[in-house]
A and B are shown apart, each in its own frame.
Chain A
């Protein structure tokens, strides 16, 4: 039996046996039943509806001035018109440290931490290159607290696309030791939480292709596809983590993913303007 606690103003909490509860819709619930989960549905607010997440793939960063500066220049040229949250992807060094760690028998959570630490270096590089434009590099904690103000002032921010999972990285259903929640998923999860206007992955290829062009000269660009149909039939090669395409089928706020070739001037700009300048993968 619940009894109201004594004479506190407002009677905020209730006593049940020896337990003090704060009165609320989910009071005393384990939060694990279907009924409670269903009752926690709501229409979501968009936290950053005017911003886009633009992830720069690790390969473009590793390629140095030749591959990275065209992307940086295009980002700079779009700062006036667009708010961009620039996510730094993981590259060769991250793969190296994971390989070293796997050989040493380090657990998945530690490998995840090492990958995040390495990708932070890519984030530092992007931050340095965009510094003259007043773009700050934010830690994950700063992203949670300060991003809206930073975007208002600078129209941009740089962050580490690898999520802050670290020791809490989840075991893989495939049994692989390699940490499964990488840079591409990190950008996706952040975008789905914040309700951004677009999620754009910048790569050194035109988009999703039907095959690896180095092995099959007939490889074509897939201009547009639904996530479900892609998961059913292919493609045989993907420039973004396949888990992102899977995640898109159950996303809440991300309605589509854009992939553009950062080495071809104008493609990123077109994507920021809402056009398909590469591949569009739609939810569903």
Chain B
């Protein structure tokens, strides 16, 4: 085995983790998802190794609301969010079935990922980390702090992949939620510390991701692209600076 410059090896240095947003993409249905799936398949056929994670979305928000109303602990909410991410992973798996791209559960990722990536070029997985009743409570409230952005990031870091791309429905990071504030400014490139210093009212990616990036060995750069615009994902996979790049 080749000795690498870092003491921790990159297990899958040629693969990418790509997260497909739940609320931002999958909940939009055919219009958003079909072109994106075509683009994913084109990249896979061109030889890209993709580990495709799914977000949760509006149904998770509903069930989190319900669970909070019932006073259920964060660990229960974590299992509920995981269930919604799983639904979305199944949706992607079935839509990609003619291309033979399998769905892997957390246990499956452990035992079959390397084989499936070699055979099929890509896998789909539910983005929520499998913490379940072992999830931490957040600093405030009850929403699980480690959700699908974080789940995808942590997997990317463990696998030592080439890159972590978040496919959402905005061009990237803005100074405010562009859906609610039309004067929000676009930020193409920023460090984690600069971003945190801006004290923005909202975040484009889960805070835990920003935290972990600064402690990570391999994945210290993430890219957020607008998957509703055809070609953006491909550009990101080609290493181009499309969307917003955040780096530690």
Q: Are A33 and B201 in contact (CB under 8 A)?
A: yes
Asked if A10 is at the interface of the complex by the 8 Å CB criterion, the answer is: no
- B91-99, B130-138, B182-190: which lies at the A interface? B130-138
Q: Mark B80-114, 1 if CB is under 8 A from A, else 0.
A: 00000000000000000000000000100110000
A26-B130 Cα distance, complex, nearest whole Å: 22
Whether B196 sits at the interface, judged by CB under 8 Å, is: no
Q: In whole angstroms, what is the CA distance A143 to B134 when docked?
A: 11
| A190 engages B134 (CB within 8 Å) | yes
Give complex CA distance A105, B134 in Å.
27
B: number of interface residues (CB 8 Å): 66
Count: A-B pairs, CB below 8 Å: 204
- In the complex, how many angstroms separate the beta carbon of B127 from the nearest chain A beta carbon? 11
Say whether A18 contacts B29, CB under 8 Å.
Answer: yes
B73: contacting residue among A23, A38, A193, CB under 8 A: A193
Q: Shortest beta-carbon distance, A168 to chain B, in Å?
A: 4
Shortest C-beta distance, B83 to chain A (Å), equals 12
Inter-subunit contact A194/B9 (CB<8 Å): no
Query: Which residues of chain A are within 8 angstroms of B110 by Cβ–Cβ distance?
Result: 113, 166-167
Is A107 in contact with B158, judged by CB distance below 8 angstroms? yes
In whole angstroms, how far apart are the Cα atoms of A169 and B71 in the complex?
Answer: 27
Residues of chain A lying within 8 A (CB to CB) of residue B7: 105, 177
Q: Are A193 and B76 in contact (CB under 8 A)?
A: yes
Residues of A within 8 A of B216 (CB): 171
Does B64 lie within 8 Å of A165, measured CB to CB?
A: no
Q: Is the CB of B23 within 8 A of A19?
A: yes
Q: Are B62 and A22 in contact (CB under 8 A)?
A: yes
Instruction: Tell me whether B72 and A22 are in contact (CB under 8 A).
Output: no
Which of chain B's residues has its CB closest to A163's CB?
B134
Specify which chain A residues have a CB less than 8 angstroms from the CB of B66 in the assembled complex. 24
Determine whether the beta carbon of A164 is less than 8 Å from that of B4: no
Please determine whether B27 and A41 come into contact, CB atoms closer than 8 angstroms. no
Count of residues in A whose CB is under 8 Å from the partner chain: 67
Q: Mark A188-222, 1 if CB is under 8 A from B, else 0.
A: 01101111000000000000000000000000000
- Residues in B with CB closer than 8 Å to A38 are 140-141
CB nearest to A191 among chain B residues: B133
Binding site for A on B (CB under 8 A): 4, 7-9, 11, 23, 27-29, 31-32, 58-59, 61-62, 64-66, 68-76, 79, 106, 109-110, 129-143, 146-147, 151, 154-155, 157-160, 177, 201-203, 206-207, 212, 215-218
Q: Using a CB–CB distance below 8 Å, which chain A residues touch chain B? A: 13, 18-34, 36-45, 47, 104-110, 113, 140-141, 143-144, 163-173, 175, 177, 181, 186, 189-190, 192-195, 247, 250-253
A-B contact pairs, 24 of them (CB 8 A): A13-B58, A18-B28, A18-B29, A19-B23, A21-B58, A28-B58, A29-B61, A30-B203, A34-B201, A36-B143, A37-B140, A42-B68, A42-B69, A42-B71, A105-B4, A105-B8, A105-B9, A107-B217, A167-B154, A168-B151, A168-B158, A177-B7, A192-B73, A192-B137
